[in-house]
Amino acid sequence: MILERLKNNILSVLFIMALVSCGGRTTHEEAATYAYTDDYEQTVQVPTTPKRIVSTSPAVTEIMFALGAQDLLVGRTDFCVYPPEAGSIESIGGISNLNVEKIVSLNPDLVISGSMIPRKSSSQLEKMGVPIVCVIEQQHFDGLYDNISKIGKLVGRTAAADSLNRLIKGKLALLSDSLNNSRTQEAKKNIYYVVGFGPSGNFTAGGNSFINDILTMAGAHNIAEDITGWSYSMEALMKEDPDYVLLRREDSATFCNTDPYNKLTAVKKGRVIGIESGTIDLQVPRNLDAVKAIRQRIEQ
């Protein structure tokens, strides 16, 4: 009788432990993912604590490094080259022609993409059960803070994202105060930012872009601030004849030696600013470097 009662007690304890165990596992499974609505208004179930992330955006990769989340990256594109340490992460190829099979082979639990990813590629990944969310460039500079916060949440670095945003805002405030103090009486220098040039046309950043905000924060006046797209006529460029021309460092020599750009006053007077690629054409923390570089040059 005693043995029977003891046996029943043991079975009861084991049954309760099993219930607790199952209950705990269910809770864990429910908390393992959450619904996230990305910049394309697509709701995706993403892991609360991702372990293996593929980035298909140079800006996303750079921000992940800035947040100290590079240990989660198992894949990146050929264009994710900053910081240099990103080169040690396995590449999945280009951006517009994503190698979906390569991405799947890396067994990611999350893919974070940018605006250049074709919908066809993202649909393929979704069908294969790989969560993919899109974080796109925002129209104005302040959108950088939002994107840092979004990526911080996605990669489990919310506190680091808050700290990074405070750091950028603090440095920008110091730059702004210094600019206001040193140039209150001086007219802004006209500047033209080169996105593309040559036979295919002239392309620049209009007033409805975060690049325009960077130029303004540097104390310059964007001659193309009135356009809403990216195309800019040669006639308008020659007529405005800006004080300074800004472009990627690797394009400077070709631009300065190409007719009719070599007739611009900025070119003839050596006022062409070659800037490091990625500091202004990507929406990343290094935008501060662009503000500093432009400002230092136009104040000489």
Which residue would you say has higher pLDDT here, 118 or 92?
A: 92
Which sequence spans correspond to the domains of the chain?
30-160, 184-298
- Rounded to 5°, angle at Cα 243 from 240 and 244: 110
- Give CB contacts under 8 A, 24+ apart, made by 105-108: 106/52, 106/54, 106/74, 106/75, 107/52, 107/74, 108/52, 108/53, 108/54, 108/74, 108/75
Is 90 exceeded by the pLDDT of residue 183? no
Q: In the structure, what pLDDT confidence band is assigned to residue 181 with cuts at 50, 70 and 90?
A: low
User: What are the pLDDT digits (tens) for 132-171?
Assistant: 999 999 999 999 999 999 999 999 999 999 999 999 999 9
Homologous superfamily assigned to 184-298: Nitrogenase molybdenum iron protein domain (3.40.50.1980)
Report the topology of domain 30-160: Rossmann fold (3.40.50)
Helix (H, G, I), strand (E, B) or coil at 258: coil
List all residues 6 or more positions away from 129 whose beta carbon is below 8 Å from its beta carbon. none
- Rounded to 5°, angle at Cα 236 from 223 and 274: 55
Distance between CA 61 and CA 80 in Å, rounded?
6
Q: In the structure, what pLDDT confidence band is assigned to residue 187 with cuts at 50, 70 and 90?
A: confident
Same fold, 30-160 and 184-298: yes
The mean pLDDT of the chain is: 88
| Amino acid at position 145, single letter | Y
